[in-house]
A and B are shown apart, each in its own frame.
Chain A
Amino acid sequence: MRLAEIQIENFRTFGEGDAAFRLILPAGIAALVGENDSGKTAIVDAIRLVLGTRGQDYFRVGEADFHQPPDGGGARNEIRILLRFDALSAGDRGAFLEHLTYLDGKAHLFLHWKAVAGSRGPSRRFTTVECRSGATGGGPALEAAARALLCATYLRPLRDADQALSAGRGSRLAQILQQTEEIESVGEDFDPAAFPEDPATLSVLGIGDFANELLERQAGIGNARARLNDDYLAKLSFEGDTLKGAISVSGARGDKSARLRQLLEKLELDLRDDGVVDPPPGRGLGSNNLLFMASELLLLSQENEGYPALLIEEPEAHLHPQRQHLLINFLKQKAIVDRGAEHGLQVLMTTHSPSLASSLKLENLVLVRNGRAFPMGPEHTLLAPDDYAFLERFLDATKANLFFARGVIIVEGDAENILLPTLARLIGRDLARHGVSVVNVGGTGLGRYGRIFQRRAADEQGLLNVPVACMTDMDVMPDCAPAILDLTAPDGLVPTKSNRRWRKKDDFDGDGLEKQRASIAARANGQSVRTFVAEWTLEYDLAHFGLAREVWIAADLAIADERIHAGRVTIADVLRTSIRNFRDLSDLAPESRSTSVYAKYRGGASKAIAAQYLAALLDRAADRGRLPPATLREFLPPYVRATIDYATGNAGDAPA
């Protein structure tokens, strides 16, 4: 049995009608990713309300859970949550027989949960809750015992693992152990009439009962009782009505499960390294968290009946990235591989961890944004099957940042990656403050990353309203460039088109160049994804539109970088020489000059290192007031300006 669909209305941030929340869940693991306040926890809580949870997390609807429409107006008074399950096993179909809905020859279970706020004045609020089955909620109410079969395991965020695993009344460990079959099935119960020959053959409860019996028979206790009776009570009793005291172990007469619980509550769980006999107490929070999750999973794995579901909020809490990765792989094994669709464990987690997000397949992710869910499975995005294969290989923890961003800039090189945050900040569009991530995809796959944000059914289900700006080069050089870059043949002529891999502007007739530009932009365009194309390359463009001198100097500094760090030359020396040489370019036509600046990067200057120097140069100029934002803005290539403006355009983050 598998939770396939969730619909939520009027619950917290989710409204009703068009503003209702709807999510088709991927099989196995679903990780809800997205920025804070996007509604991830509300989704988990909605499921908890309908299914209920094990353990002692009672959760009821509160006044604040009723949706308050953003356009004013009073709070709504009816929360509606719909859960649809499919892939029901034979056992599930039997257990929920009277509640099933048959669609396309398959059995589904729909649960319509409703909480209605009634009000009799401000001091007497009450909420009525009902849960009915059937596609439209016309079925019978779900019995408490049937609902118990659906009960989920819920691990709250920042859970206090220490508390849950230590001994004491109501400890979670005791509950988990009590559900563990071996606790009851292994060993014999204690028979008061027959003293056990080998106490090791006793069951857990047997040992407890045996110990209680020994305590009650113990000589010292016997003596104390005798003294109490003989020396005191006997003397306080009337003739013929002797008072007698008996000493017994508290709770030793309770029923079986109560006795067992008391016994198990004495146990606590901590971690030991193999071979260390007497370890120092207190592992870190993270390790204990892992231990806690392991014990919950143990309990869950023993359930044969009903719907094994695990709701985890932020499993990454206190875990370092490698352990996050280990945990995810373990859950994947448990959820999907070990059990199969009908019996599989279903895991629903919320996370803010790019490491964790990148450990999962893209189709297991659900991006939550502004109260809407955007599952990443192939039926939901414009990504092609080979895109999924590609992204599974290359979408790493660094790139997975994009799932949490309010705006994304996808770039193809280190230089862009390094420079853009500085450029944006210096023109008053700080990327960090706008929640914009720059993702460097290297040389390939720009379009594939863009398509992550393009929805298959955008018209019906809405756009994924994250501006994604892709920056890319235009691999067409100015007509003057071949000569400057020494790409001409020995005879000084430009080789014929078919004999070279590069293109220059006059290779294109009429509006051919613009068409070429448009076709590059079209590789990743549509919905909230835009591609911005350079004149030629970033360095050329920067030089060409106003920062020629800075780009030139940065190249020289990059070339001298090793010597500067080795102390063989000073930055000031390099600067002086560089500025002097730059003057030699002053007579050149603009395109030739820009090409000459760019030539330094073809001739040995590292683009990444130069970018660092350039960022520093611009920072310093701005610090000294020589480069006010408006001025720099004028100097920036149009495509850089457009990229930054577009990606940071969600400043107000208007609702979708």
Chain B
Amino acid sequence: MIGVAELLARAVSDEDIADACASLGLPALAFHGADGEDARLAVLRSNGSIDVAACPGSGKTTLLVAKLAILAKRWTSPASGVCVLSHTNVARLEIEKRLGADPAGRAILSYPHFIGTIHGFVNHFIALPWLRSQGIDVVAIDDDICLRRRLHKLTPPQRSRVLQTKRREGLLRIVDANHDVGDVAWGGGPLGKHTATYQAFVAACQATTAEGYFCHDDMMIWAAQALERNPDLRNAVRQRFPVLFLDEVQDNDDVQSAILHRVFMEDDRPVVRQRFGDMNQAIYGSASATDVNGTNGDVFPNAAISIPVANSHRFGPQIATLADGLALSPPGLIGLREHPEAEQGRQAAILLFDAQQATDVLPAFAHLLTTRFSPAERAAGVFAAVGAIHRDTNRPDTPNCVAHYWDGYDHELTRIEGRPATLIGYLRRGVHDAAGTGDVHPIAEKAADAVLRLATMLNPSVRHPNLANRFRQLGRLLEHDTATLRRFHLLCSKVATGELPTNAGVWQTWKKPITDIATALLAGAAAESADDFMAWEEERGAVGVLATPGNIYSYPSMETAVRIKVGSIHSVKGETHLATLVFDTHYKGSHLTRIKDWLTGARSGLTANKPELRKSLKQHYVAVTRPSNLLCLAMRSDAFTDAEIVLLRSRNWNVGDITNQQIVWRP
């Protein structure tokens, strides 16, 4: 058996790359580029630490998956593995889906390897073992439940005072291992740390820790303590994971960057780390003004080991050039998509409208789509309309947010990935998860999750052990209460057979039986009410290729020809659209006007420390790099002078005016 060092020392051959492509169902030369010298090849061949600055549409995930496939095939160590960290479980699911077909690749999805979120990693390998070692039985890592429980530990007057503050129970978040809750704004000024009230907060947090309830960010604090108290720990981590992949590095916040650096890189014998990211798209994470993501001077990308991938298969040269102009540090974007001759030069447009006609923009864009794309293209592709600000901020300027462009916009709908707010929402999520498969399992799981959650809300002080499988957990809790367990099974079966209520009236009759099940879990402890959670909630639609429910604009409303997803720029990060419309929005001034000079090409790049401007550039860089075929910016007619319009046109922007929900192109 060979060691990990030898395994990494072995060069990646063309054959390895071809094998990986084959097992992933890609063409053999998928990564070679036109000249066989593509930067992606260098990334695949590298077995050392590298920073891959990957432009939008560069196929970063595909590249990462191919790297994993190559590694998986040669990996022999039974006790050391590869660690792949990202920000969302979506990334993990994506990697699982692509590697899953390949038996060798599948191996990398389980022990001794790890693919998951940074939080998941820190919890699983560092914080949880450490907490368990203190004799703490970790029941839940859940901000809602934990904060509710902390609140519950206070006296009733303290509780109501806390709920009157702006942060509400969020006040009870700890900032260090002493359970200090930081500075608390309290009436006129800060609450003194020596006061009985402040100490009651600290005591409440200590109590929940001892009982095993945690907020997500608490875990970073306990992980830091674990590393401090066990100097050997990080060596063990490096022993276990000699290879680390970090995806979407630009979104790491300072705390995450610091702990990852400390665990994997600091001092002697750092691991092999390959980072993938694009600082130009850093719209989450570090708020630091310099944007270098540079905790401990560990800047991304580190020029010495950086491999920029600047060519994109997503869009053509026109969008590439215009987008490049918006980047904080222009990567020299190259657009590799080829458009038919008749389409060339028609990929980017600025749509001008009168301030009073904001609601005409969306219909005009939709109409444009019907003229530019065939019904088949429209059915297969995704259209989106986005803005930096999506909900009304009550600023005087109009339109200042996405909602002003479409009065049908409902910002509440954007919480699609979050936890449902109501029990009926849980049950619907279960039905949605099970859709089409005929499996009852997703429904039973969500129903069990919902009932357990309801029980916690009815009485936050009753403890339940925390098992990954909620259905089984419920089964265990009700082991000796077969009558209740049978009632729960009946609930699952009714949901699974399509009897889920469709109106508030019928739901009313479901509430009591469900509440009874949850009450049985309290073993006689007093129950509070959980009316909010049990309330009826209207179902929101999900349509067509846009599988997730959300804000969908249909045009025309009868006999729909185009569906457009409407939302914030943040909500479309990482997506590819056939066409994207970017609304101008306002926050301390118009966003697009603020970056006007970058649109016209008068300026390029930015090193100055101007936070609002940097933020605007990054957000709109993300927005304009979404579409493959058509990019439109919607701005007020008074945004540009005539001279600027000339500049825009010389830069290959098409310019049109919106009248009567149609576009009149300027010659």
Known: A94-B237, A94-B240, A149-B78. A136 touches B137 (CB 8 A): yes
Q: Nearest-CB distance from A479 to chain B (Å)?
A: 69
Within 8 A of B (CB), among A141-180: 143-146, 148-149
Check if B80 is an interface residue, CB within 8 A of chain A: yes
Within 8 A of A (CB), among B1-22: 1
Q: Nearest-CB distance from B265 to chain A (Å)?
A: 16
Q: Nearest-CB distance from B134 to chain A (Å)?
A: 9
A90, B138: Cα distance in complex, Å? 26
Check if B651 is an interface residue, CB within 8 A of chain A: no
Within 8 Å CB of A97, what residues of B? 125, 129, 236-237, 240
Q: Nearest-CB distance from A641 to chain B (Å)?
A: 55
Best-buried of A95, A99, A105, A107 by chain B (most CB within 10 Å)? A95
* 0/1 string, B127-146, CB within 8 A of A gives 1: 01110110101100000000
Contact B230 A102 (CB under 8 A): yes
Check if A138 is an interface residue, CB within 8 A of chain B: yes
Known: A91-B79, A306-B78. A98 touches B236 (CB 8 A): no
Q: Which of A90, A103, A143, A304 contacts B239 (CB 8 A)?
A: A90
Known: A101-B132, A138-B137. A145 touches B111 (CB 8 A): yes
A100, B79: Cα distance in complex, Å? 14
Contact A101 B133 (CB under 8 A): yes
Q: Nearest-CB distance from A307 to chain B (Å)?
A: 10
A438, B132: Cα distance in complex, Å? 51
Contact B239 A135 (CB under 8 A): no
The residue on A at minimum CB distance from B78 is: A305
Within 8 Å CB of B137, what residues of A? 136, 138
The residue on B at minimum CB distance from A303 is: B1
Q: Nearest-CB distance from B549 to chain A (Å)?
A: 33
Check if A69 is an interface residue, CB within 8 A of chain B: no
Contact A140 B112 (CB under 8 A): no
Contact B232 A306 (CB under 8 A): no
Within 8 Å CB of A138, what residues of B? 132, 137-138
Q: Nearest-CB distance from A176 to chain B (Å)?
A: 15
Contact B129 A99 (CB under 8 A): yes
Contact A139 B112 (CB under 8 A): no
Check if A315 is an interface residue, CB within 8 A of chain B: no
Q: Nearest-CB distance from B607 to chain A (Å)?
A: 41
Q: Which of A107, A146, A149 contacts B236 (CB 8 A)?
A: A107
Contact A146 B1 (CB under 8 A): no
Contact A95 B132 (CB under 8 A): no
Contact B229 A146 (CB under 8 A): no
Contact B226 A102 (CB under 8 A): yes
Within 8 Å CB of A134, what residues of B? 129, 132
Contact A143 B129 (CB under 8 A): no
* 0/1 string, B611-625, CB within 8 A of A gives 1: 000000000000000
Check if B77 is an interface residue, CB within 8 A of chain A: yes
Contact A135 B132 (CB under 8 A): yes
Contact A95 B112 (CB under 8 A): yes
A181, B241: Cα distance in complex, Å? 25
A98, B83: Cα distance in complex, Å? 13
Contact B133 A102 (CB under 8 A): yes
Check if A325 is an interface residue, CB within 8 A of chain B: no
The residue on A at minimum CB distance from B230 is: A102
A285, B178: Cα distance in complex, Å? 67
Known: A93-B239, A102-B226, A107-B230. A305 touches B129 (CB 8 A): no
The residue on A at minimum CB distance from B231 is: A105
* 0/1 string, B219-243, CB within 8 A of A gives 1: 0000000100110110111111100
Within 8 Å CB of A144, what residues of B? 111
A94, B111: Cα distance in complex, Å? 12
Best-buried of B1, B80, B133, B230 by chain A (most CB within 10 Å)? B133
Check if B110 is an interface residue, CB within 8 A of chain A: yes
Q: Nearest-CB distance from A148 to chain B (Å)?
A: 7
Contact B239 A102 (CB under 8 A): no
Within 8 A of B (CB), among A593-614: none
A144, B238: Cα distance in complex, Å? 22
The residue on B at minimum CB distance from A134 is: B132
Within 8 Å CB of A107, what residues of B? 230, 232-233, 236
Within 8 Å CB of B313, what residues of A? none
Total inter-chain residue pairs, C-beta < 8 Å: 92
* 0/1 string, B103-118, CB within 8 A of A gives 1: 0000000111000000
Contact A181 B1 (CB under 8 A): yes
Contact B239 A139 (CB under 8 A): no
Q: Nearest-CB distance from B6 to chain A (Å)?
A: 12
Contact A101 B129 (CB under 8 A): yes
Contact B124 A135 (CB under 8 A): no
Contact A305 B230 (CB under 8 A): no
Within 8 Å CB of A94, what residues of B? 79-80, 235-241
Contact A91 B132 (CB under 8 A): no
The residue on A at minimum CB distance from B77 is: A305
Contact B1 A145 (CB under 8 A): no
Within 8 Å CB of B135, what residues of A? 135-136
Q: Nearest-CB distance from A395 to chain B (Å)?
A: 40
A101, B129: Cα distance in complex, Å? 6
A98, B130: Cα distance in complex, Å? 9
Known: A94-B79, A95-B79. A146 touches B112 (CB 8 A): yes
A261, B125: Cα distance in complex, Å? 38
Contact A143 B133 (CB under 8 A): no
Contact B132 A146 (CB under 8 A): no
A39, B8: Cα distance in complex, Å? 49
Within 8 Å CB of B226, what residues of A? 102
A107, B133: Cα distance in complex, Å? 9
Q: Which of A98, A103, A139, A149 contacts B79 (CB 8 A)?
A: A149
Within 8 Å CB of B237, what residues of A? 94, 97
A136, B1: Cα distance in complex, Å? 35
Contact A105 B1 (CB under 8 A): no
Q: Nearest-CB distance from A180 to chain B (Å)?
A: 11
Best-buried of A94, A101, A139 by chain B (most CB within 10 Å)? A94
* 0/1 string, B232-257, CB within 8 A of A gives 1: 11011111110000000000000000
Within 8 Å CB of B77, what residues of A? 305
Known: A90-B236, A93-B232, A138-B132. A306 touches B79 (CB 8 A): yes
Contact B111 A139 (CB under 8 A): no
Q: Which of B125, B129, B138 contacts A102 (CB 8 A)?
A: B129
A619, B224: Cα distance in complex, Å? 80
A135, B137: Cα distance in complex, Å? 10
A112, B129: Cα distance in complex, Å? 15
Contact A98 B124 (CB under 8 A): yes
Within 8 Å CB of A139, what residues of B? 128-129, 132
Within 8 Å CB of B240, what residues of A? 93-95, 97
Q: Nearest-CB distance from B232 to chain A (Å)?
A: 7
Q: Nearest-CB distance from B10 to chain A (Å)?
A: 15
Q: Which of A98, A136, A149 contacts B129 (CB 8 A)?
A: A98
Q: Nearest-CB distance from A441 to chain B (Å)?
A: 48
Within 8 Å CB of B238, what residues of A? 94
A101, B137: Cα distance in complex, Å? 12
Q: Nearest-CB distance from B79 to chain A (Å)?
A: 4
* 0/1 string, B534-575, CB within 8 A of A gives 1: 000000000000000000000000000000000000000000
Within 8 A of B (CB), among A22-38: none
A103, B1: Cα distance in complex, Å? 33
A146, B79: Cα distance in complex, Å? 7
Contact A103 B111 (CB under 8 A): no
Contact B112 A103 (CB under 8 A): no
Within 8 Å CB of A145, what residues of B? 78, 110-112
Q: Which 3 A-B pairs have the closest CB atoms?
A: A94-B239, A94-B240, A93-B236
19 contacts between A and B (CB under 8 A): A90-B232, A90-B236, A93-B239, A94-B239, A94-B241, A97-B125, A97-B236, A100-B133, A100-B236, A102-B130, A102-B226, A107-B230, A107-B233, A138-B138, A145-B112, A146-B111, A149-B78, A305-B77, A306-B79
**Other A-B pairs beyond A90-B236, A94-B240, A144-B111, 17, CB < 8 Å:** A91-B79, A91-B239, A94-B79, A94-B237, A97-B129, A98-B124, A99-B129, A100-B236, A102-B129, A102-B133, A135-B135, A136-B135, A139-B132, A145-B110, A145-B111, A145-B112, A146-B112
